[in-house]
Structure 1
Amino acid sequence: MTRTTLALALAAALALAACDRGPANGAPAAAPTAGAPQAQAGQDAAAELDALYAEFWEESLRLNPLSATYIGDSRYNDQLPDTFSAEFRQRQLDFAQRWLERVRGYDVEQLEGQARLSYEIFVSSLEEQIEGERFPGWQQPLNQFYSFPSSFAMLGSGTGAQPFRTVADYDNWLARASNIPTLFDSAMANMREGMANGVVQPRVLVEKTLPQLDGLIKDDPEQTLFWRPIAEMPEDFPEAERDRLTEAYRSLIADTLMPAYRALRRFTAEEYLPAARDSHGLDALPDGEAWYAFNVRRITTTDLTPAQIHDIGLAEVERIHGEMRQVMQEVGFEGDLQAFFEYMTTDPAFTYESEEALLADYRAFEATVDARVGELFSLTPKAAFEIRPVEAFRAQSAAGGSYMRPSEDGSRPGIFYVNTYDLPTRKTWDRDALYLHEAIPGHHFQIALQQELEGIPTFRRFGGQTAYIEGWGLYAESLGRELGVYADPYTYFGRLQAELWRAIRLVVDTGLHSKGWIREQVIQYMKDNSATSDTEAVSETERYMAIPGQALAYKVGELKIKELRARAEAALGEAFDPRAFHAEVLGDGSLPLDVLEAKIDRWIAAQS
C-alpha cells in the first residue's frame, strides 16, 4: 500500500487537499462576448480556472496545515487545528460546498484538453467529499492501521515530514505539539458520540491500539520518540538555544504530550474497548451497506458493485493458482498447492539472517533494477528515494512495505519503508515484487513524477485516486521479467503470490463488508489459498477491517492498466513502444480509471 501522505491518519478532515474553485469573488464566469470565437472563450475560462485552482490550493493549505507539512511546504509547520472538532468538520464542508458552487459557474463545454480534465477531476472530488459527509467516520477515528497517535509520534521524532533543521523548526514543533491534547480530547468526544450511536470499531482492532499506545508512553521524556530531535540536535545551534530547547522539549513531553497519551490510552482501555463491537464488517454499522458501496465507488473510481468485485476476485484467484502450479512443475515440487505454500513459507532457505541482511539485499536490488529501467521508461522522476525499516513502535500492525512521497523542495526523499517485524515471515522471494511496487518503477516513479509535473494545477500534482495509484503499483510488479528480474522460479512465485494477495483482497474485503464474513473466515480463506504466515494473514485481515474498500484498489486498477496495454499492443502491433505507453499513462498524474481509459483510447487513435 501507499501512504502518499500520513496526514490521512488524521481522519477525513485531512483527506482532501485536492479540490478547486470557481470564479474570483464567487462571481459566475463571464459569458463570452457576442460573436467571440468559442476557442477564445475556452482559453479565457481555462486561464481563469488555473488562477482559481492556485487560489484554492493556498486556501486549502491554510485550512489543512498538516497537509502542507507533508508536501514540504513549511509555512504552517507551527499550526495544528482541532481537526476532529465539529466546528472544523463544518468548515471543511462549507469550504467544499462553496468552491463547488463557484466552479459550477463555468461552462465545461468551453474547456478542452488539460483544462477539461482538471475541471472534471476537481468537481468530482468535491462532489464525492460532500456525498461522503453522510457517513460518520469521524465517530470512530482510532484504529491500529491509520493511528493518529502514531502519526504524531512520527512527526515529533523527526523521522517523518516535520523538519528539525533550524531553531525555528524546533520552535514550530513546540507550538504545533502543544495543541495535540486538544485534538485528542476531541477524538475521544467523537468516539463517545459513536458509542452512543452504535458507530464503533471492532473489538479486535481496539485491542491492537493499546500496545501501540503503550510503546509511545514513557515516564522518562528522554526515552520517548519525541526526544529524538533533542538527541540529534544540530551541533551548530548556539549553546543558549540548545539549553532552551532541551528544557522546553522536556517540559512539552512530560507535562503536555505524555498526559495526553495516557488519557487516550486510559479512555481506550476503560471506556471504548468495553463498548467496541463483536462484528467485523462495515455493513454491521448503521447505514453500513450504503457506506461500503460508497467506499467501493470512491476508491475504485468505477461503478462496480461489491458483488461484481467479489466475482472478479474469485476468477483471478483461480487463474493465478493455475500459474503457481506451473511454477511447481518447473521446480519439480511433488505435492499439491497447499503443500507448496507450506514449503515456501517454512523452508529456512527463504529467510533472512538479520534485519541488516534484509535491508542490504533490498538496497543491492536497487542497482539491478536501475540498470534496466530505461528500457521501459523514458519518463523518470528527479527526486531521490531511500529504503528504511518500519519503526518498531508501529511495525506489528504495519504492512510489509509502504511508500512516503518526497517533499516538494527536495529536502526529504521518497521513502520506501520495509517491515522487518517478525523477520522469519519476511521472505527472500518477496523482495522483487515488493520493491517494484513501492519503489521503482512503482510508487516512487508515479508519485514523484506526478509531483514534478508542470502545466497542471497543484491539486492534481498532490492529489490522487487510489485505484490509479495502487493499480500502477501492482502493474509495476508485472514488469519484472521485462526488467530482467524474477530471475528464478521462486522469485517469480513471489510475484504471483503478491498478485494473488491482491486478488484475494477482492474476495475477502467484499466478503467482510457486504457478505457477512467474519475475521476468522477471512484469515482461513487467505491461508487456504495463498502462501501466507499467520502474522501476515492476521495483520492484513485487520487492515481490511480498519479501512473498508481500500484493498480493492490494487487489482481493479491493475486490471484496467493491463487491459489498456493489451488494447494498445493489439492496435499498434510492432509500432507499440512500452516507453511511450508508460509515458502516456504517467504523464498527467493520477486519474479516475474511466478518464484514463478515454485518454489512452485517444492516444491509440492518434498513433494508428
Structure 2
Amino acid sequence: MSNITSPLPREVADAYVDELIALDPVTGTFLGVKESSSRLPDTSPAGQEAVAELLRTTLARLDEAERQPGADSDAERRCARLLRERLTAELAVHDAEEGLRAVGNLSTPPHSIREVFAITPADTEEDWAAIAERLRAVPAALAGYRESLALGLERKLYAAPRPTATFVGQLTEWADTDGTGRGWFEDFASAGPDALRPELDGAARAATAAVVELRDWMRDVYAPTIEGAPEVVGRERYARFARYFNGTDLDLDEAYAYGWSEYHRLLAEMKAEAEKILPGAATPWVALAHLDEHGRHIEGVDEVRDWLQKLMDEAIEALDGTHFELAERVRRVESRIAPPGGAAAPYYTSPSEDFSRPGRTWLPTMGLTRFPVYDLVSTWYHEGVPGHHLQLAQWVHVAEDLSRYQATVGMVSANAEGWALYAERLMDELGFLRDAEERLGYLDAQMMRAARVIVDIGMHLELEIPADSPFHPGERWTPELAQEFFGAHSSRPADFVESELTRYLTIPGQAIGYKLGERAWLLGREKARERHGDAFDAKAWHMAALSQGSLGLDDLVDELSRL
C-alpha cells in the first residue's frame, strides 16, 4: 500500500503559481523571480491555449485535493474556494476567445510587455544582460499578439474601434517618445552599462522596429477591418467580465441602481463642502475649478514625487501602532513617476516576494508640471497608504501562512480596489482630510467611482437613464453620453476623462469593483462590529482582514464578518 498522499488545496495552488511563471515570465518578474528576467510570454493563440490547459489541469487537481483529509480546514477551504472561482472565471474568458480581441489603452499583452521592463532588476551587469535578452524577445512577443488578433479578425471577433484608435496612438508614442525618432525601449536601454552598449542598443532598436510594425498593421489592417464594430460588449459578455473582475455573479441592474443612489448621496455632500470653498458656486465642480487656479499646488515633477513620498511616510508613522500593526518591510513604499505613453490613472505595483523590490506608487504626469493638492491626497491614500500598499504588501508578508497563490496572482480586482476605496473613507473617518479643499477632493474621487458604476454598466448594457436623473432622463446610454456625464461630474481634465472612458471600453466590468468592493468591506466591518459589540477592536480587525489574502466578493463579506 502506497504511503504517498495527494496534495492539499494550498499545495495545488502554489504548484499552479510555479507552472504559471514558466508560461508567463511577466508574472514571474512581478513576483521577483530572477530567472524570469530574460524572457517574455508566448502571446500567440498557442500560448493562450497553453495557459488555458494549465487552468483545466489545475482544476482537476483541485477536485482531488478537496477530497483529502484536512482539506476542510479554514485555511485550505478558503484557498480552494478562491482558486476554483478564479480559474473558472479565467477559463470562461478564455473559452469566449476574448484574448483574440484584447485591444485597448491598458491591460493588453503589449502593455504588459513594455511595463515589465520598469520593474525588471537593473542593478548589475548581469541584470542588464538579462534585459538585453528580454529586449530581443520583444519582436516575437508582439508578433504572437498580432497573430492572436489576426485570428480574431478571421473569426469576426472584433475589438471596439475607439480603444483601437487610442492604442495606435500609444504605439506611436512608444516608437517615438519625444519626436526625435527615438523609442521608449531605446530610452530605457540607455541606462545600461557601457560594456553592453552595442548589445542593448541593437536589441532596443529591434524592439522599437517591432512596435512600429505592430502599429502600422493595427492602423492599416486591423482598424479598417473593425470599423463600425460595436463599442460596447452587451449583457452576456459584460456579465462574464464582471465575474472575472469581481469574483461574484452580480445583479447588474441592482448594481446600476446602487451607483445612482451613491451619486445622489455624494452630490449632496459635495455641495456642502463646495459652499465652504466658493460660496454660491453653481456646482461642486465650479468650486474644484476654482481650486485648480487658486488652491494649493505642487510645482515640478520631482517635487510632486517627493511630496507624495512624504505623504505616505507620514501616513505610516501616524497609523502604525494605532490603527494597524505593520511589519518593518511593509512600512517601505516608494513614490515613482510613471513612464510616458500609458493611461492617465495612477497605479500601484506590489513588492517582490522577498521585498527586495518594494511596493511602488506610480503617477502619470500626462505632460503636466503643476499638480493640485486636492487631487492627490485621497488618491495617494488609495494607491499607497493605507490603500493598495498596506493590503497587497501585507499579503506578501503573510504568504507563508496563506499560500503563495492567495498572496499574489489570485488577486480579485474588486477586493483590492474595494479596500483602497475603503481606505480613503477610513482616512476621512479618522480626520486626516484636514480642510474643505482636501475633503472635496476626496468626495470628487468617490463620485468618480460612483459614476463608473453608472456609466460602465449603463453604456455596455445600453440601459435607460432614470427619470430622476438631472442628466438626459429617459435616454439610453451611449459611450458619447457616458463621456459627457463623466466629464460633467469630475474635476479631471479632458484627456483624463477621454482615457477613462476608453479604459471602460477596454476592460468592461473592472471599474465597478471600486464602489461594489467598498460596499462589501463596509458591510463586513459593520457585521463584525455588531457581533463583537463594545469589544470590537478596529486595529485587530484591520490586521486580520488584511492578512486573509484575496477573496472574491462572493466570500468577502462572510469572511470579514467572522473576524
TM-score computed with the length of structure 2 as normaliser: 0.89
Question: Is 1:560 aligned to residue 520 of structure 2?
Answer: yes
Are positions 1:173 and 2:131 aligned together? yes
Specify which of 252, 259, 263 is matched with residue 306 of structure 1: 252
Q: Match of 2:299, SS?
A: coil
Q: What displacement does 1:137 show?
A: 1.7
Tell me which of 89, 94, 99 is aligned to 1:128.
89
Per the TM alignment, residue 417 of structure 1 is displaced from its structure 2 partner at its CA by: 0.6
- Counterpart of 2:25 in structure 1 is 65
8 Å CA contact 1:221–1:227 kept in 2: the answer is no
Q: Displacement, 1:183?
A: 2.2
Partner of 1:355: 301
Task: Quote the residue 2:185 is aligned against.
Answer: 226
1:38-91 deviation digits (Å, cap 9, x = unpaired): xxxxxx77x644444443332222222221111101123223342x22222222
Q: Deviations over 1:573-604 (max 9, x none)?
A: 3322210110121111121223222223333x
**Alignment partner for residue 297 of structure 1, among 238, 243, 253?**
243
TM-fit CA distance, 1:311? 0.7
Instruction: Give the match's secondary structure for 1:408.
Output: coil
- Classify 1:371/1:87 alpha carbon distance in 2 versus 1 (closer, same or farther; 3 Å): closer
Q: Is the 8 A contact 2:165 2:223 kept in 1?
A: yes
Q: Secondary structure at the match of 1:532?
A: coil
What SS does the aligned partner of 1:421 have? coil
1:489 is displaced (CA, Å) by 0.9
**Residues 510 and 86 of structure 1: CA distance in aligned 2, closer, same or farther (over 3 Å):** same
- Asked whether the 8 Å contact 1:402–1:417 carries over to 2, the reply is yes
Task: Name the aligned partner's letter for residue 75 of structure 1.
Answer: E
Which amino acid counterpart does residue 269 of structure 1 have in structure 2? R
Does the C-alpha gap of structure 1 residues 381 and 517 become closer, same or farther in structure 2, counting only changes over 3 Å?
farther
Give the structure 1 partner of residue 203 of structure 2.
252
User: 1:367-516 alignment to 2 at 5 Å?
Assistant: 367-374=313-320, 375-380=322-327, 382-383=329-330, 384-394=332-342, 397-399=343-345, 401-423=346-368, 426-453=371-398, 454-462=400-408, 463-515=410-462
The correspondence for 1:152, drawn from 89, 109, 113, is: 113
> Counterpart of 1:191?
149
- TM superposition shift of 1:510: 0.4
**Change beyond 3 A, Cα 1:48–1:511:** closer
Do residues 91 (structure 1) and 41 (structure 2) align?
Answer: no
Distance, in Å, in 1 between the alignment partners of 2:429 and 2:39 is: 47
Shift of the 73–561 alpha-carbon distance from structure 1 to 2, 3 Å rule, reads: same
TM-score normalised to structure 1 length: 0.82
SS at match of 1:485: coil
User: What residue ranges of structure 2 are gaps of 5+ in the alignment?
Assistant: 463-475
Structure 1 residues 349 and 123 mapped into 2: Cα distance closer, same or farther (>3 Å)? closer
Contact 2:86/2:244 (CA < 8 Å) preserved in 1? no
Equivalent of residue 75 in structure 1, options 35, 56, 77? 35
Q: Deviations over 1:261-283 (max 9, x none)?
A: 22111111111222234455433
Tell me which of 251, 268, 271 is aligned to 2:221.
Answer: 271
* Structure 1 segment 26-37 matched on structure 2, within 5 A: none
Higher Cα Rg, which structure: 1
Two-structure CA RMSD over aligned residues (Å): 2.8
Letter in 2 for 1:194: G
Shift of residue 338 of structure 1? 5.4
Equivalent residue of 1:163, what SS?
Answer: coil
- 1:433 aligned partner, one-letter code: S
Is 1:104 the equivalent of 2:63? yes
Alignment check: 8 A CA contact 1:333 1:340 kept? no
2-structure distance, mates of 1:221, 1:90: 40
Q: 1:335 to 1:175 in 2, by over 3 A?
A: closer
Check whether the contact 1:450–1:461 (CA below 8 A) recurs between aligned residues: yes
Match status 1:546 vs 2:506: yes
- What is the CA distance between 1:377 and its match in structure 2? 0.9
Shift of 1:398: 2.6
Shift of 1:422: 5.0
Q: Is the 1:500–1:530 Cα contact (8 Å) retained in structure 2?
A: yes
How far apart are the structure 2 equivalents of 1:468 and 1:339? 29
Deviations 1:331-352 (A, max 9, x none): 4611332564564464333544
Letter in 2 for 1:496: L
4+ runs of 1 displaced by more than 6 Å?
219-222
Q: CA deviation at 1:230?
A: 5.2
- Shifted more, 517-526 versus 52-61: the winner is 52-61
> Structure 1 stretches of 5 or more lacking a match?
1-27, 31-43, 235-241, 604-608
Aligned to 1:595: 555
User: Are the equivalent residues in 2 in contact too, given 1:114–1:456 (CA < 8 A)?
Assistant: yes
User: Counterpart of 1:495 in structure 2: which amino acid?
Assistant: Y
* Superposed CA offset, 1:414-465 (max 9, x none): 1101122253884310222111100011001001110111222111111211
Post-superposition Cα deviations, 1:137-190, rounded to whole Å, max 9, x if no partner, equal: 22223322235444433444xxx2211223332232233332322222222222
Distance in structure 2 (CA, Å) of the matches to 1:101 and 1:63: 19
SS in 2 for 1:386: strand
Instruction: Mark the CA change 1:380 to 1:277 in structure 2 (over 3 Å): closer, same or farther.
Output: farther
Q: Could you tell me whether the CA contact under 8 Å between 1:345 and 1:532 is conserved in 2?
A: no
CA change 1:423–1:258 in 2 (3 A) is closer
Tell me how far 1:527 sits from its aligned partner: 2.9
Tell me the residue number matched to 1:114.
75
Q: Distance in 2 between matches of 1:175 and 1:419?
A: 28
Distance 2:339 2:434 in 1: 31
How far does the alpha carbon of each residue in 1:342-381 deviate from its partner, in whole angstroms, 9 at most, with x for none? 6446433354433344334323323432332122112456
Percent of aligned pairs sharing the same letter: 23
Partner of 2:161: 203
